[in-house]
Chains A and B, each alone.
Chain A
């Protein structure tokens, strides 16, 4: 019955709901169900058709609008195509993109089979999968699928391993190293190969991925100890001493004087405004205080000019 076929295409409603025997009543029920299913299909087709409608606006002819618009349309078209397929075949439907290797010969070289017998035997890849299938359920499912597929009349080819980056001297990273493993990160891809090999159009699903760490045989530890070091730190400024009179040689007292003077000048910079309020200088120092009063001269800034004004007022 045609309805059975529809159930595999994301339409569980098409599955005959009742009846195990052929009778006129049952045929009438199924016929009605087929009509309903037919209308559902027509509705879905209509929605999908709307989604697949082409762009009506013409493409821009000038740059950079053209460069921006083209990938946007591709992206939108892809999304609409996915939506249309999901309308027809139900929501879990996934589009698996097809791709093509630019240089299939190079990819074939990356596989361990292409790298020659020095790196890994097929049994090592098999051991790897056998071992991993006990800790990674997805790998176990793949292993069962491979094992049972030949009995079901649709054998899946034996898995092949691809190791990146390509290094002819590197050992197979999935097993015991026959030669020291160069430092760095490595990627091994187990591919359940199709009959086409690496030529032609390809597509694939990632079944599982995981990280394996190989421990090192040495560790860098640290011994820390307390030793009372100086807290003094070298000056963070360079003192360029110039003698007051050029005599062709330095005088020790002059050098000491330069250093002392530099530090006296430095210490002067440490004077806080609070220190100034204790003596009489602060009223005369510029940009330290601001005067305010209730008259029209309020908030006169006590700069040199305003100080002069203040003197004028007093006189």
Chain B
């Protein structure tokens, strides 16, 4: 119908000619607003056209509903803290040293005197000896400490570098041992009798020992924290004896990042001594804020990247629904107060005294009040075994960012269900240059190469590469059911493991549960980190993690190969 027909003269013409009656069937459509342009910019500006509309929306959302509640206005917080005082590795108690990161102290292993260390130490010694006239002493020292064997898998690079640096490379291992055991003086006597030269050699020796301590750390005095049967570190640290003393046990620290979750708390028997330092702190309360938290202001837009309203939850996802409800409805009932704590301290929050705007005071206690709580609780940052009514928070004195070198050693423990045993495969071992080098074909989980049998024949047994080390199940002492794994060896000449991880005294047992179905991968690598005063720490540590699945050695014994059958599948 043309638009012109809607003009008013048409309407009047129709009205004035009543004989042209048309049956009138009328209906009514409700008019709905609909945006006619895709640009919402102006709408989102929320321009105020009608201030009463704001009140309307607030009334609709119940924001004017009176409640029997009050806003907090002041918070007093009682906190007790104490630093770590002792460290126990094995059965040895040592004083905790806050100037060293905890994981460095726990993990540190002796650094082998490989070619890189030899080169560095030789340079330090040569530079400390200085230029002429004392440089002529260096060949004499080299003649006494000539480079012989170097630990690690031999590489062509190391051989070439050894030739290139023959003029200054020393047997630093022997030299350091000689200096530390005070036999270097005898060597110096053989080299020279001139007082100035003796002094120069002594100063160079001191410089070398200082450098070795600065860069590679002092020799470890406490026993190793690595549990060979658990493939993880185990240690314990505690606060000073007193009524509040707490012992923190790290049972299954596999290396890598050390944090609160590696520790379990064990309150030992209270002993005589000072209590934790207590402090009462006063704060103004502030509401919590988190990504996606509903905003209470009409014109504030929430961050669209986190939208709890779009949680995809089924009706049986009760936990997810409860969390969403908690986030969406009750987030404004939570307050937070900042608490500055020293790294390395164990702290307990006794409670908070909240004063509201009506001057009423409420004592807020922890929801996790120890083992006496009659419901199963879970909480972030809560240490297992900490049954105190005032739960503690432990800030582990660990490094934040560690530079980790490519692994020096890599040993994969895999389950071989066909052969019913566990294999430890030396995938990567330390070279004489101080770097990790892969052993031949170690990346393949299938060890022996299959061959086509021309006809039926008897196979006494297949062989596996010598870097596959078998671990056999044996009974745990005193038990007929539980088993553990014992290192064994295949028939043939004795072949010692090259990886330090496997170089343990016989018999070497590993608990069966430590090798899951997916296997376990243990690495040994140089790590470097800085500590609070900027001091760099360099150490060799291990990292134990879940492996990449089962493997098969293809080991079979006493087997008849049919014609055309591949001997190993």
Give me the interface of A with B, judged by CB distance under 8 Å.
123, 126-128, 130-137, 140, 143-144, 147-148, 151-152, 171, 173-177, 181, 210-233, 235-238, 262-263, 265-267, 269-270, 273, 277, 283, 287-298, 300, 302, 309, 312-313, 315
Q: A236: which B residues are within 8 A, CB to CB?
A: 54-55, 58, 297-298
Are the C-beta atoms of B1 and A222 separated by less than 8 Å? no
Are the C-beta atoms of B67 and A295 separated by less than 8 Å? no
Are the C-beta atoms of B27 and A292 separated by less than 8 Å? yes
Whole-angstrom distance from the CB of B554 to the nearest CB of chain A? 35
Chain B: CB-nearest residue to A265: B52
Are the C-beta atoms of B63 and A233 separated by less than 8 Å? yes
What's the Cα separation between A295 and B22 when bound, in Å? 7
Given contacts A135-B404, A148-B165, A151-B164, 15 further A-B contacts (CB under 8 A): A135-B538, A137-B405, A147-B165, A174-B536, A215-B530, A218-B343, A221-B340, A224-B334, A225-B337, A226-B330, A229-B71, A233-B296, A269-B53, A291-B29, A312-B12
Are the C-beta atoms of A226 and B334 separated by less than 8 Å? yes
For residue B5, CB closer than 8 A to chain A, the reply is yes
Are the C-beta atoms of A313 and B15 separated by less than 8 Å? yes
Chain A: CB-nearest residue to B79: A223
Q: B288: which A residues are within 8 A, CB to CB?
A: 224
Whole-angstrom distance from the CB of B394 to the nearest CB of chain A? 11
Are the C-beta atoms of A218 and B164 separated by less than 8 Å? no
Best-buried of B296, B342, B533 by chain A (most CB within 10 Å): B533
Q: A235: which B residues are within 8 A, CB to CB?
A: 54-55, 58, 64
B window 397-450: CB within 8 A of A: 399-401, 403-406, 434-435
For residue B532, CB closer than 8 A to chain A, the reply is yes
What's the Cα separation between A225 and B59 when bound, in Å? 29
- Per-position contact with A for B299-343: 1 when CB-CB < 8 Å, else 0? 000000000000000000000000000000010111111111111
Chain A: CB-nearest residue to B15: A312
Known interface pairs A132-B528, A143-B120, A313-B15. Does A227 touch B333 (Cβ–Cβ under 8 Å)?
yes
Are the C-beta atoms of B401 and A212 separated by less than 8 Å? yes
How many A-B pairs have beta carbons closer than 8 Å: the answer is 257
Whole-angstrom distance from the CB of A121 to the nearest CB of chain B? 12
Q: B67: which A residues are within 8 A, CB to CB?
A: 230-232
Are the C-beta atoms of B116 and A266 separated by less than 8 Å? no
Are the C-beta atoms of A210 and B52 separated by less than 8 Å? no
Q: B538: which A residues are within 8 A, CB to CB?
A: 131, 134-135
What's the Cα separation between A292 and B63 when bound, in Å? 41
Are the C-beta atoms of A130 and B332 separated by less than 8 Å? no
Are the C-beta atoms of B532 and A214 separated by less than 8 Å? yes
For residue B60, CB closer than 8 A to chain A, the reply is yes
Q: B364: which A residues are within 8 A, CB to CB?
A: 225-227
Are the C-beta atoms of B528 and A134 separated by less than 8 Å? yes
Chain A: CB-nearest residue to B401: A213
Pick 19 A–B contacts, CB within 8 A, sort by A: A130-B211, A131-B536, A134-B538, A143-B120, A144-B161, A147-B120, A148-B165, A211-B401, A214-B531, A218-B342, A223-B352, A225-B337, A226-B330, A229-B333, A273-B30, A290-B31, A291-B28, A296-B5, A297-B11
Q: A263: which B residues are within 8 A, CB to CB?
A: 55, 59
Whole-angstrom distance from the CB of B72 to the nearest CB of chain A? 5
